[in-house]
């Protein structure tokens, strides 16, 4: 039976259309999900939208529509982004779904049963943009006497009746859990930040609001709606059918990984584990806080005019080129930068010139010189072929640990090494010249290269699924022979030859990209 693997993204706050940061996280999560499927796991991949809170209510009021109308419109943009970028999600969870109200209210009732909620008066700083409460000591100076949150967002002094969660009660249990489970918070830099914060002391958390009504109603407390983060975090359970005892809950909870941005690590590694402890629910196995994606080294903002629609980038450069660039260029976990120039340079050098050209040259030679009949390997040479084929044999075991550790750029570095080795081999062996001088040797060279290209396509498939499948389709590789187990199958090539497969005239999969015209806003 396949091992279950449950991965989630942070659910997006849809008070505006998706930006490249949303796309970056969705693509990274999709690469993880596809890799785990290729490893044979039974994957459940959940994403969605976080639709309550004061920001949504204010935005709807500005637009002259209801919050629900705003949610319906904006959530559709996020689903469309996922579909356009080939995000293979299983569940798109909206927090306005009735079943999500039931899940959130059940979590609340369990916290009540633990005596972890009490009614009091909240007076303190609140950032509407962050949907977060901040202590005075966390604020930074703005212009003049203005105070800002640690994220640089405006804060306002808020006074209202509120339910509080006894977060302080969970300070020591959280620290004990972090010590016993060092992989729970990743990367290590985020773990260290969280531990320092918790060691500094936790204050009880205001978890309801009465100043607006766009949220999940608090059970048995008229006029109160849940703090948006109580509601939002519960989505990870809602998608599995909680509070019902469903087969999905039994199979996939706790989640293997919550993939989130570094700006919301505190909510996922302090508040969420404490809520789950209170509700007697298992904690997720890992929370990974990735870095920000910058545009030419600058944080994106509307005032700078550098906010880019990810679908415009995908349309301009191709979905798989964008996916490849983001996974290749950025050391995952750290901040990274992108630009149109960098996308074009990277994808042309590696996808078009190196891998794409390799595949096109080899497949074209088989089609032209052998009529598309796959060649035999009777003239295999230990002197000339052993090094390349040894690299190919070890390739899956070399790549796999990088993807398991979410080191996508490192994995793609290793992938490129085999691409380079294949290109060096084809240049040295010159199979186009062997047709006249030694056709049997040409056959062996092309057979070796065909096998390498197939393995390269399979291993890159989690990153560029559509392009890899187009190439594998041309090569006659069955759809059920494209996972990592197939890399360990030594008999596939002879089976394919024996099947009578004839290679048709190959079509290039990776066209060269052009830089956008000067002045184009990309």
Q: Which residues pair with 133 in a beta bridge?
A: 126
pLDDT for residue 132: 80
- Range name among 34-38, 133-137, 325-329, 452-456 with the lowest pLDDT average: 133-137
Whether residue 328 has pLDDT greater than 80: yes
Contacts of 279 (CB under 8 A, 6+ apart): 107, 110, 111, 114
Give the pLDDT confidence of 88-109 residue by residue, as tens digits.
Answer: 999 999 999 999 999 999 999 9
The average confidence (pLDDT) of the chain is: 94
- Domains of the chain by range and CATH? 346-498 (1.10.730.10)
Q: How far is Cα 183 from Cα 156, in angstroms, rounded to an integer?
A: 36
pLDDT for residue 137: 84
Average pLDDT over residues 352-380: 97
- Centroid of chain to Cα 328: 13
Q: How far is Cα 375 from Cα 501, in angstroms, rounded to an integer?
A: 11
Give the pLDDT confidence of 246-282 residue by residue, as tens digits.
Answer: 999 999 999 999 999 999 999 999 999 999 999 999 9
Average pLDDT over residues 447-461: 98
Biggest distance spanned by C-alpha atoms of the chain? 89
Whether residue 81 has pLDDT greater than 90: yes
pLDDT for residue 306: 61
Q: Would you say the C-alpha torsion 311, 316, 319, 320 has a positive or negative sign? A: negative
pLDDT for residue 518: 63
Q: Where residue 129 falls among pLDDT bands split at 50, 70, 90? A: confident
* C-beta of residue 40 within 8 angstroms of C-beta of residue 483: yes
pLDDT for residue 141: 85
Better-predicted residue by pLDDT, 153 or 224: 224
- Range name among 116-130, 197-211, 216-230, 506-520 with the lowest pLDDT average: 506-520
Q: What proportion of the chain, given as a percentage, has pLDDT over 70? A: 97
Give the pLDDT confidence of 4-31 residue by residue, as tens digits.
Answer: 999 999 999 998 899 999 999 999 999 9
Q: Reduce the secondary structure of 23-69 to three states and give it as a string.
A: HHHHHHHHHHHHHHHHCCCEEEEEEEECCCCHHHHHHHHHHCCCHHH
Average pLDDT over residues 502-509: 97
Which of 33, 43, 36, 45 lies closest to 483, judged by CA? 36
Give the pLDDT confidence of 137-187 residue by residue, as tens digits.
Answer: 889 988 877 889 988 889 988 888 999 999 999 999 999 999 999 999 999
Q: Reduce the secondary structure of 300-323 to three states and give it as a string.
A: CCCCCCCCCCHHHHHHHHCHHHHH
CA of 421: how far to CAs of 355, 390, 416, in Å? 11, 11, 8
- Helix H or strand E encompassing 160: strand 156-165
* C-beta of residue 330 within 8 angstroms of C-beta of residue 406: no
Contacts of 313 (CB under 8 A, 6+ apart): 20, 23, 322, 343, 522
Whether residue 301 has pLDDT greater than 60: no
Q: Which residues pair with 298 in a beta bridge?
A: 295
Q: How far is Cα 289 from Cα 262, in angstroms, rounded to an integer?
A: 4
Contacts of 488 (CB under 8 A, 6+ apart): 396
Q: How far is Cα 491 from Cα 473, in angstroms, rounded to an integer?
A: 19
Q: Mark residue 474 as left, alpha or beta (left: phi above 0; alpha: psi -120 to 50; beta: remaining).
A: alpha
* C-beta of residue 374 within 8 angstroms of C-beta of residue 451: no
CA of 141: how far to CAs of 130, 150, 154, 300, in Å? 17, 10, 10, 21
Contacts of 117 (CB under 8 A, 6+ apart): 108, 111, 163, 164, 165, 166, 207
Average pLDDT over residues 187-202: 96
Average pLDDT over residues 285-298: 88
């Amino acid at each position: 039976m396949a091992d279950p693997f449950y991965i989630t993204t942070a659910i997006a706050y849809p008070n505006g259309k998706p930006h490249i940061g949303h796309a970056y996280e969705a693509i990274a999560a999709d690469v993880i999900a596809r890799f785990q499927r290729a490893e044979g796991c039974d994957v459940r991949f959940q994403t969605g939208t976080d639709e309550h809170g004061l920001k949504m209510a204010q935005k709807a009021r500005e637009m002259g529509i209801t919050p629900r109308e705003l949610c319906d419109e904006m959530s559709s943009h996020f689903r469309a982004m996922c579909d356009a970028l080939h995000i293979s999600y299983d569940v798109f969870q909206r927090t306005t779904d009735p079943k999500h109200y039931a899940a959130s209210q059940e979590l609340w009732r369990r916290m009540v049963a633990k005596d972890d909620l009490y009614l009091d008066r909240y007076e303190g700083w609140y950032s509407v943009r962050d949907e977060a409460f901040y202590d005075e000591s966390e604020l930074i100076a703005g212009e003049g006497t203005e105070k800002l949150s640690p994220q640089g967002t405006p804060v306002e002094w808020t006074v209202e009746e509120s339910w509080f969660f006894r977060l302080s009660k969970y300070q020591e249990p959280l620290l004990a859990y972090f010590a016993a489970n060092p992989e729970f918070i990743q990367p290590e830099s985020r773990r260290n930040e969280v531990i320092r914060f918790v060691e500094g002391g936790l204050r009880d958390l205001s978890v309801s609001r009465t100043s607006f009504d766009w949220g999940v109603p608090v059970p048995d407390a008229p006029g109160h709606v849940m703090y948006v983060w109580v509601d939002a975090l519960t989505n990870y359970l809602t998608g599995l059918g909680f509070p019902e005892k469903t087969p999905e809950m039994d199979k996939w909870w706790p989640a293997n990984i919550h993939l989130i941005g570094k700006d919301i690590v505190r909510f996922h590694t302090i508040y969420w584990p404490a809520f789950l402890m209170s509700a007697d629910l298992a904690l997720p196995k890992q929370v990974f806080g990735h870095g920000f994606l910058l545009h030419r080294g600058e944080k994106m903002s509307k005032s700078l005019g550098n906010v880019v629609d990810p679908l415009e980038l995908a349309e301009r450069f191709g979905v798989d080129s964008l996916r490849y660039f983001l996974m290749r260029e950025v050391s995952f976990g750290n901040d990274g930068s992108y630009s149109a120039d960098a996308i074009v340079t990277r994808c042309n050098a590696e996808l078009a010139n190196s891998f794409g050209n390799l595949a096109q040259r080899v497949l074209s030679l088989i089609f032209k010189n052998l009529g598309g009949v796959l060649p035999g390997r009777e003239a295999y040479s230990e002197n000339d072929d052993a090094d390349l084929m040894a690299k190919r044999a070890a390739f899956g075991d070399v790549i796999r640990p990088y993807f398991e550790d979410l080191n996508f750029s490192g994995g793609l570095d290793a992938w490129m090494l085999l691409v380079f080795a294949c290109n060096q081999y084809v240049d040295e062996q010159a199979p186009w010249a062997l047709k006249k001088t030694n056709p049997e040797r040409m056959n062996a060279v092309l057979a070796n290269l065909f096998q390498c290209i197939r393995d390269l396509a399979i291993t890159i498939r989690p990153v560029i699924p559509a392009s890899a499948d187009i190439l594998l389709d041309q090569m006659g590789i069955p759809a059920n022979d494209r996972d990592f187990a197939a890399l360990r199958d030594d008999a596939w090539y002879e089976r394919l030859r024996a099947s009578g497969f004839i290679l048709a005239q190959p079509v290039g999969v990776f066209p060269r990209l052009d830089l956008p015209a000067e002045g184009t806003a990309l």
